Amino acid sequence: MEKIAASSAFAMLGHPGRLDVFRLLMRFAPRGVRPTEIAAALGLKQNTLSHHLSDLAACGLVQSERKGRSLFYSVNLDATEDLIGFLALDVGRARPDLLGPLLASATETRVSPYNSFEVLFLCSRNSARSIMAEVLLRDLGGNRFVAHSAGVSPGPAPHPMALEVLARHGHDITGLTSDAMRSYQGDNAPHMDFIFTVCDAAAAQDCPRWPGLPITAHWGLPDPVTAEDPPSAFAQTYAALHRRIAELVALPVTELSRLARQAQLDAIHTNSKD
């Protein structure tokens, strides 16, 4: 990246509001987000958000795509890679004392004491989507994965319809609880290898950096609780999660680089027909 282009991009990100928009879009990457959803998540007025998006698009960090009657904004990952590379390799001169710790954390292949990957599913209430995802990975993944789930603002208990659907498909629902996301962010919490957000509210949450730099992906699904036909919606949510987690389990995770893992996990959502 040329110095002038980098300077323009850094100037755009130097505004707290634009930085918030960019960070939110990164949490949804590579998929796009509607402006109304961005505004709601960040508490911005539409005209303010429009200015921020226009500025970010002008410097190439954000791109838009029209799908039907809706406009979606997403991060330009190529431009972002160039900007980070400029900062690390040109400005930072690729100093090993600066880059070494980051590269080591990002490339290490860490497994739990049971030789399996720790996986956390996040949603807003931890009552339906994330609970079903946890149980599905627990039962489909065998001893290769240790499944967890949590909520940004957890409800009192898993939703009865979620438990009913799981039980109907032969899953053990004994002892399932709705847990808080913060219980996985303390010093004594297990370090996650993968974190999946399964609702937009959880993806929009501005979280501290997770210990161990886990790979993250957004597998957003509509909330079955608020659907017009909840019984049908819960069945469809279970089926959608089953397909995605079956694809995750089929991946040769230990044979893939970190970059390849990220691409495969993003593709599972991008290629989904749910």
Q: What's CA 131's distance to the chain center, in Å? A: 16
Q: Please state, in angstroms and rounded to a whole number, the distance separating the CA atoms of residues 58 and 14.
A: 15
Tell me the residue type at 159.
Answer: H
In the prediction, which pLDDT does 274 show?
A: 62
Q: Please state, in angstroms and rounded to a whole number, the distance separating the CA atoms of residues 165 and 232.
A: 10
pTM of the model: 0.83
In the prediction, which pLDDT does 92 show?
A: 85
Q: Please state, in angstroms and rounded to a whole number, the distance separating the CA atoms of residues 220 and 214.
A: 18
Max distance between CA atoms of the chain, in angstroms, equals: 60
In the prediction, which pLDDT does 223 show?
A: 94
For the chain, the first-to-last Cα distance in angstroms comes to 38
CB neighbours of 249 closer than 8 A, spacing ≥ 6? 137, 140, 141, 142, 144, 145
Could you read off the pLDDT tens digit of each residue along the chain, which spans 274 residues? 789 999 999 999 999 999 999 999 999 999 999 999 999 999 999 999 999 999 999 999 999 999 999 999 999 999 999 999 999 888 988 887 777 666 655 555 554 444 689 999 999 999 999 999 999 999 999 999 999 999 999 999 999 999 999 999 999 999 999 999 998 987 788 889 999 999 988 888 877 778 778 999 999 999 999 999 999 999 999 999 999 999 999 999 989 988 899 999 999 987 776 6
Q: Please state, in angstroms and rounded to a whole number, the distance separating the CA atoms of residues 198 and 274.
A: 13
In the prediction, which pLDDT does 106 show?
A: 55
3-state secondary structure the chain: CCHHHHHHHHHHHCCHHHHHHHHHHHHHCCCCECHHHHHHHHCCCHHHHHHHHHHHHHCCCEEEEEECCEEEEEECHHHHHHHHHHHHHHHCCCCHHHHHHHHHHHHCCCCCCCCCEEEEEEECCCCCHHHHHHHHHHHHCHHHEEEEEEECCCCCCCCHHHHHHHHHCCCCCCCCCCCEHHHHCCCCCCCCCEEEECCHHHHHCCCCCCCCCCEEEECCCCCHHHCCCHHHHHHHHHHHHHHHHHHHHHCCHHHCCHHHHHHHHHHHHHCCCC
Domains and CATH numbers, the chain: 3-78 (1.10.10.10), 117-270 (3.40.50.2300)
